[in-house]
Amino acid sequence: MIELQDVKEHLRIVGEHEDNYLTALTLAACKLFEANTGRILVRPQELPKDEPKAVELDDLIKQGLLLTVGHWYENREASTSLTLAEIPLGVAACWGPYRFYNLGGATR
């Protein structure tokens, strides 16, 4: 969804030695967005007309993805000596407006 070069620029990485890892982190971040919002992330101009849950990648979603990838890249283990709050900071603010709410009621 995000170009590898954009991820590398965000992380200030030069070279190709971690490209596979960065690609895997980016795909996982996209899946996390979809799980947290109930949306289906699509590339710009590929928005299907018959899928109300689809949302186009925009700058705000992209920023949340980059924050997530950056956090995972810098914190490769599940433990830390720091006191943690919301991680990564700002992702909820970036992705919150895209949460899908089904207001149609229950269906049988």
Which pLDDT band holds residue 44 (cuts at 50, 70, 90)? confident
- pLDDT tens per residue, range 50-83: 999 999 999 999 999 999 999 899 888 776 666 5
**pTM for this model (two decimals):** 0.82
Nearest residue to 53 (alpha-carbon basis) of 40, 64, 62: 40
Q: Left (φ > 0), alpha (ψ -120 to 50) or beta: where does 50 sit?
A: alpha
What residue segments make up the domains of the chain, in order of their start?
A: 4-98
For the domain made up of 4-98, the CATH class stated in words is mainly alpha
* Stretch 93-101: mean pLDDT: 87
